[in-house]
Structure 1
Amino acid sequence: MKRFGRENFPEQYPAVLDEWAEPVTTDDKDMQILRPLLKNTNLEFRGLKLTYSSNRDGWNPNSFHNKVDKLGGGMVVCTTTDGLVCGGYNPKGWVGYGEARGSIAAFLFVFRKGLTELPFKLRKTGGPSFAQNDLPEIGPSFGADSLVIPLEKSNPKVARSKLGSYFERFPDGTNTLFGKRGASVQLKEFKVYHGVYEEGEYIPFTDAEPFALY
């Protein structure tokens, strides 16, 4: 039974809140900040690469999906215009097929005290379903409303967050990832990081998931 435990299948369990991953030798300074979040995920020991940058690649859904689809699980990192850094981990990644991709291991995070302090993590609630609403016409959407970057033409830099239905609220009851800033913010940029895979190496979760259980 040992081979079926958390060590071999970490993402069949909720995100850990009190353990942190160690750096990987290939991590640059930005990845070193994100690495602790990846404890007990499929990316914990894998090198990371920057696959999408809104300011480099474009603030629109086509650019987003062209860069991130079918690359496996990924980390979204947002920076608001006033410097708040937050985001989420999507274990099943994106494929752009218009489906809800489920995972109990998904989580949101925010650096409430700046990048020199460990971030605060919020787990997926209500089971694995709807961890990511993977629609080709929008950017990342954790749940229906927990952290959504629609990339609307009229206001592509807006991000919205309402916690409680799909991801935890904060212990004090705050129901938005952005705290006192409210349910919506303007972004300075957002980025997506994926794991580095060798040529020919199998990348999990790169197709449709009609029966997503984890």
Structure 2
Amino acid sequence: MTAKFSKTRETIVDVSRNVFGEMGYYNATINDIALACNRGRRTIYTYFKSKDEIYNEVIKVESTKMSAELQNYFSNVLDPHEKLRMYIIKRMEIIRNLVYAHKALKTCFFKEKAHFDQIRREFDKEEIKIVLSILDEGIRRSVFQVLNMSLTAHNLLVTLKAFESNFMEMNPDEALKQRQQEIIRVILYGIFNNNNLR
């Protein structure tokens, strides 16, 4: 694969991200992508077999970027508990910004949640890796007690998804901020008094 081929492919993916964001996956066509790229349909088909393939690549690239942003956010934090807290806050912010940056995703998030979850499967895979690394570090430092890391990571991700709508407001008032903090506290500590934990 030549440098020019790779660069053109990257450009198509980058432009397609905006096309899908504005029009949505179902409404966008190869013609729309070609027009936005200032290229012909045949050129697009030189690099991608279908709209699906372009869309999958867009999601893959976006997922990698979000994962890197999450990792960088708490990379210098040593305490696993604090790292997990920061991860929860930052991932909610990233999801919110992503939803509001793309008109189609905003509609999808609030009206077609099942489809939104399908779209971000790639990001889910990246998130599971991040959570597993935090859990592993917490276990090694005797901060967390986890019997099944895979199940715990999966359950944490499901729990976070369930609370996402509480973090979607761009300018939360004090009452909502308080509710968000309470959600994070419950996720991190559960309902037990710390003194009663064994």
Q: Which has the larger radius of gyration?
A: 2
TM-score, structure 1 as length reference: 0.22
Q: Taking CA–CA contacts closer than 8 Å with sequence separation of 6 or more, which of the two structures ends up with the larger relative contact order?
A: 1
TM-score, structure 2 as length reference: 0.23
Structure showing the higher strand proportion among its residues = 1
Structure showing the higher helix proportion among its residues = 2
